[in-house]
Amino acid sequence: MMGILQKLFGRQGSKKAAKERLQIVLIHDRTDISPMLMEELRKDMIDVLSKYMEIDAENIEMDLDKADHSVAFVANIPVVRIKRRA
């Protein structure tokens, strides 16, 4: 009886919830770099790049580009000046 009432009142089958939860959990699973780690990565990148060029550290853009089963780390770093090398 409860089953029929539930169906009559349009309670959705659980599979919809399952699919939505799966899609979300997989986005997180596929890219597992925490914000803390991203920050450390940013600082390290600034240090390394600053050896070769003057960069605009305020305007660095970093992102993890997610596509199916592969992830690409993409960074856009504005360069002010390339340093002279001996």
Partner 1 sequence: MEPRVIVVTSGKGGVGKTTTTANVSFALAKEGYKVVAVDADIGLRNLDVVMGLENRVVYNFIDVIEGTCRLPQALIRDKRVDNLFLLPAAQTRTKDAVNPEQMIELCNMLKKEDFDFILLDSPAGIEGGFKNAAAGATEALVVTTPEVPSVRDADRIIGLLESMGKNPIRLVINRVKANMVREGEMLDVQDVLDVLAVELIGIVPDDDSVVKSANRGEPLTYGDSSPAAQAFRNIASRLLGNDVPFMKLESQEGLGFFSGLKKLLGF
Question: Which spans of this chain sit near partner 1 (rule: CB under 8 A)?
Answer: 12-16, 18-19, 21-23, 25-26, 29-30, 68-70
Q: How far is the CB of 69 from partner 1 (least distance, A)?
A: 5
DSSP run (H or E) holding 21: helix 14-30
CB nearer to partner 1: give 29 or 47.
29
Q: Under 8 Å CB-to-CB from 62, ≥6 apart: which residues? A: 38, 41, 42, 45, 73, 74, 75, 76
**The tokens of 21 are what?**
């939860």
Distance in Å, CB of 8 to partner 1, minimum: 14
Which two three-digit tokens encode residue 28?
A: 């997180």
- Which residue, 17 or 79, has its beta carbon nearer to partner 1? 17
Shorter beta-carbon distance to partner 1: residue 18 or 74: 18
